[in-house]
Chain A
Amino acid sequence: MTPDETATPPAAEALGASGAAVRDAAPADAVGGRVPRYVARPPDTAAAADLLAAAHRLGLATVMRGNGTAGDWGAPPDRVDLVLETTALRTVEHAAGDLVVRAGAGTPLADLQAQLAAAGQRLTLDPLVAGGTVGGAVATGLSGPRRLLHGPLRDLIIGMTSVRADGVTASSGGRVVKNVAGYDLGKLHTGALGTLGLTTSVTFRLHPRPEAQRTVSAAAPDTETARRWTRAVLESGTVPAAVELDRPPDGPLTLSVLVEGAEGGIDARADTVAGLMGGAAVAHGPPGPDWGALPGGPEDTLIKISVPIGEAARAADCAHEAARQQHTTAAVSGSAGAGVLFAALPAAAGAATVGAVARSLRAGLDGAVTVARAAPGLADDGAEPDRWGDVPGLDLMRAVKQRFDPHRLLAPGRFTGGI
């Protein structure tokens, strides 16, 4: 064996000098079908910064990964040399008296929630994808049913520390809920799919766990009824935490309303909601574990549909009709109250089909329609669908990317407009 064959490659050595655990990548580490050269796991923010600085010097294209539950969101990156695993970044500082927590990006959301629950608190973020981490939630910007009352994920973030492509660590926001000092750069990173930097820790505002919960559910005989119920519940003053719509490929549209609050007042509110929904059933306690789960299976293509409130039920119908015209099916669910739905198309639906469904929805609805997650191998038939549609402000987004990552080293091509 010659010395050359035993020596650590210079790139791996440079990456390892950061203090991160570095290994050669295996096929299982592939991102969007591309196998990287290295996988590195920094132990803390400082090491992550040194690691990204080294990758920057070496010109390595880097993709971040938490528990790997959202690696297939967005377009497949143009190239991947390094996968940066955040799983060691899992410190949690809970300031219970201030209803604030700062959590490392690699912290599993379930662990974080368990820790907060012990203090009677919660991060009001529904786990749409099981097994995800704090960093993954931020990168995908996914918000579940309770966004109706407590806002989407980005409204719960009050501070963030991120490492830029060049290895510079920068924070924005802070540890207090009310704070308008400086630009809120945390908003930029939320939903950016890791194209602007590596988020290493996030500070969230928390809520007390409610004393009582009720779920009111009913199947609507038609779309117009579902729209009417949604409107009646929203304007009733009962302040539901969530109004969810579920429209499977076969079967009726079901509306379920989550009411949370004080034990002494909850039954009156739930009964009011039930009355508005044609005498719907009221279930006590928290909703089931599938509450707010994304529709379809893990390998289905997911189309995200954002429409004005009041259009949600019609949007679900449109998704069904668009799928039917392409000889496939759509399972639709999401927040009718916030106007944000997901439609799952079967994994077998090809790129041309997905593209046609997305086009049809864009033509028929106000708002935005994006292919959030494509089935594996979707683009293999050579007809990569338009995942994003028209995105207003794209030139500004490109300018931001250019400032933060001028050499296109962070998940290049994964985001809108080829960013």
Chain B
Amino acid sequence: MPQPVTALIPRLREICGDDGVVTDPDRRRTYESDGLTYHAGTPGVVVLPTATEQVAAVVRLCAESGVPFVPRGAGTGLSAGALPHSQGVLIVTSRMRRILEIDPAGERAVVQPGVANLDVTRAAAPHGYYYAPDPSSQQVCSVGGNIAENSGGAHCLKYGFTVNHVTGLEIVTPQGEIVRLGGKAADAPGYDLLGAFVGSEGTLGITTEITVRLLPAPQKVRTLLAAFGSMDAGGAAVSAIISAGVLPAAVEMMDALSIEAAEAAVACDYPPGAAAVLIVELDGPASDVDAQFDHATRLCRDAGAFEIRTAADAGERARIWKGRKSAFAAVGRISPAYIVQDGVVPRTALPEVLRRIAELSAESGIRVANVFHAGDGNLHPLVLFDDAARGAADTAADVSGRILDLCIEHGGSITGEHGVGADKACQMPEMFSPADLETMNLFRSAFDPGGIANPDKLLPTPRLCGERPGVRTGVHPLVAEGAAEQF
């Protein structure tokens, strides 16, 4: 039988110090959710360790007591991966934020998990290097959280995910052991546990030290914005660019509704009348970038772009990106509430899927703004609704779920970068067979036989499954029936 989490508090204070343990209900509630606020719950207790040994001691205590633990970085996740457990310990890494080493000759940085993503690049920049994975929240999200979620960003198309940039991890296993996987050298012998750990969403343990690859800063970056009269024309330009063998650092697309939102919010001054805007960024050796940039510009024009702007300097590049980067927040200007969905389709299925989304929108009366990483088919539909209108939230949740169905139907994925977390655990059976999920569970149990590491995340459990993710209001129906408990 697991012990009540309160029984652990005196021991937790010994391990983390009085100021490293949060028991006050109001203070605990500040950790009630990650970036996906409609999944919320108060953690049993919060600890803020400063060293690996403290993390290990806390986890050992949890293991001995059968108490679950949930790791949390900066809390910017968008799949309720860091949703606290009401009877568990929330382990927050925000005090473990030292950059331990920048090693330009070895092209590596060694950091603690609470370090903000962008701070790695800031520390490497004076040496002419940077850290490539750049989720939109890179100013605040933690590297440890990026490891948990295998977070992407606009540059995944060319530079790959977090997992492609991590060569070493120190982890605390769910049994409280400190284990090193890899290091500064590539190809550690044995099973690639490091590769499988990245993206495991805190279900295999918690990261306490990270060795990442640093890349030399590109010689040149060039950016263009192309405006099209239709989404199809924009999509055709994306296909033409990729087919021609041009590998941009980023290819981002926005539809008319997201352009409208961005204009309202930040006056980004995109070409008037555009039904679709494409942002194409190339980086690399100067001579290569120039050759490919001209090629990409021609291809956009051939696909029907009625206006093409190229950035002459960093200021103009920032202006081109301004609308795109503000789009998520900007929809708040044109809608009281919205859901950010995260699905992936094969690039060639984009036109068909976007048409179907438009049909879904028309049928349901729910507006959907499309802002996405067009180069790799990662959609981020923004499903807009009025939370004051009766039933609107449910309809929006339904539309959001149907968009995921479309992604799966077209051979895609239910998440490209936000993770599964608590939010999409119940969608996993739509993408994976029972045998696939059972095999994943076998793997999980090798690390965590007691099932205490971030339970109820990533893999579906009978509890609370059988419905779509989305906005929650009121008491959960299964809770009301007494069939489930909600954390």
Query: Does the CB pair B179–A396 fall under 8 Å?
Result: yes
Hey, which chain A residues are within 8 Å of B438, CB to CB?
Answer: 168, 170
Specify which of A177, A210, A389 is in contact with B189 (CB 8 Å cutoff).
A389
Distance, CA A340 to CA B182, complexed state (A): 13
Chain A nearest CB from B433 CB (Å) reads 7
- Residue-wise, chain B 168-179 has the 8 Å CB interface mask toward A (1 for contact) of 000001000101
CB closest residue in chain A, given B200: A183
Q: Is residue B247 within 8 Å, beta carbon to beta carbon, of the partner chain?
A: yes
Least Cβ–Cβ distance between A263 and chain B, in angstroms: 7
Interface membership of B292, Cβ < 8 A: yes
Whether B288 lies near A265 (C-beta < 8 A) is yes
Residue A360, interface by CB 8 Å: no
Instruction: Provide the A235-253 mask, 1 if CB < 8 A to any CB of B, else 0.
Output: 1111100000000000000
Find chain A residues with CB under 8 A from B179 CB: 392-393, 395-396
Q: Give the shortest distance, in Å, between A323 (CB) and chain B (any CB).
A: 21
- Nearest CB on B from A337, distance (A): 9
Q: Which residues of A contact B190 (CB under 8 A)?
A: 388, 391, 393-394, 397, 415-417
A231 on the B face (CB < 8 A): yes
In the bound assembly, the distance between CA atoms of A207 and B344 in angstroms comes to: 19
Central interface residue in A100, A181, A396, by most chain B CB within 10 Å: A181
Shortest distance between the CB of B79 and any CB in chain A (Å) = 9
- Residues of chain A within 8 A of B244, CB atoms compared: 208
Residue from the list A154, A309, A340, A417 in contact with B192, Cβ < 8 A: A154
Contact A340 B186 (CB under 8 A): yes
Q: Which residue of A lies closest to B195 (CB)?
A: A187
> Smallest CB-CB separation from A169: which chain B residue?
B435
Select from chain A the residue with minimum beta-carbon distance to B444: A183
Chain A interface size range: 35 or more
CB 8 Å contact bits of A214-244 with B (1 = contact, 0 = none): 0000000000000000010011111100000
Q: Which of A30-38, A91-99, A276-284 faces chain B? A: A91-99
Taking CB atoms, residues of chain B closer than 8 Å to A183 are: 196, 199-200, 440, 443-444, 458
> Interface-forming stretch among B49-57, B112-120, B407-415?
B407-415
Question: What residues on B are CB-neighbors of A237 within 8 Å?
Answer: 216-219, 285-286
**Residues of chain A with a CB closer than 8 A to B348's CB:** 95, 97-98
Taking a contact as CB atoms closer than 8 A, the residue among B107, B412, B444 that contacts A176 in the complex is B412
A residues 265-317 with Cβ under 8 Å of B?
A: 265-266, 268-269, 304, 306-311
Contacts of A269 in B (CB 8 A): 285, 287-288
Quick one: given A181-B414, A402-B446, are A367 and B184 in contact (CB under 8 Å)?
Answer: yes
Chain A min CB distance to B340 (Å):
15
Asked whether, in the complex, the Cβ of A393 is within 8 Å of the Cβ of B193, the reply is: yes
Query: Is A234's CB under 8 angstroms from B345's CB?
Result: no
Q: Is there contact, CB below 8 Å, between B216 and A235? A: yes
Please encode chain B, from 401 to 442, with 1 for each CB lying within 8 Å of some chain A CB and 0 for all others.
000000000011111111110001000100111011111101
Q: Are A178 and B344 in contact (CB under 8 A)?
A: yes
A203 to chain B, nearest CB (A): 10
Which of A76-84, A188-196, A343-351 faces chain B?
Answer: A188-196
B107 touches which of A151, A179, A309, A392 (Cβ 8 Å): A309
Q: How many A-B residue pairs have CB under 8 A?
A: 285
Interface residues of A in 54-108 (CB under 8 A from B): 95, 97-100
- B446 adjacent to A400 (CB under 8 Å): yes
Binds A, one of B22-30, B92-100, B159-167: B159-167
Q: Does A24 contact B (CB under 8 A)?
A: no
The stretch of B32-40, B148-156, B330-338, B386-394 in contact with A is B148-156
Using A168-B435, A182-B420 as known contacts, say yes or no to A309 and B105 having CB atoms under 8 A apart.
Answer: yes
User: With a CB–CB cut-off of 8 A, which chain B residues contact A328?
Assistant: none
Residues of A within 8 A of B373 (CB): 178
A261 contacts B by Cβ under 8 Å: yes
**Which residues of chain B are near A396, meaning CB under 8 Å?**
173, 179, 193, 446-447
Measured CB to CB, the closest approach of chain A to B81, in angstroms, equals 11
Q: Does B183 contact A (CB under 8 A)?
A: yes
The answer to whether B128 has its CB under 8 Å from any CB of chain A is: yes
A264 CB–B CB distance under 8 Å:
yes
The answer on a CB contact under 8 Å between A174 and B413 is yes
B416 contacts A180, C-beta separation under 8 Å: yes
Expressed in whole angstroms, the Cα–Cα distance for A395 and B449 within the complex equals 13
Q: Is the CB of A180 within 8 A of B419?
A: yes
Provide a sorted-by-A list of 10 A–B residue pairs whose CB atoms are within 8 angstroms. A95-B346, A97-B239, A152-B187, A154-B192, A155-B164, A175-B346, A178-B413, A181-B415, A238-B285, A340-B186
**Interface contacts beyond A181-B414, A188-B192: sample of 8 additional A-B pairs, CB < 8 Å, sorted by A:** A178-B376, A179-B415, A181-B413, A183-B200, A368-B188, A370-B189, A392-B188, A394-B190
Query: What residues make up the interface of A, taking CB atoms closer than 8 Å to B?
Result: 95, 97-100, 120, 141, 143, 151-152, 154-155, 164, 168-172, 174-185, 187-188, 190-192, 196, 207-211, 231, 234-239, 261-266, 268-269, 304, 306-311, 338-340, 366-368, 370, 388-389, 391-397, 399-400, 402-404, 415-417
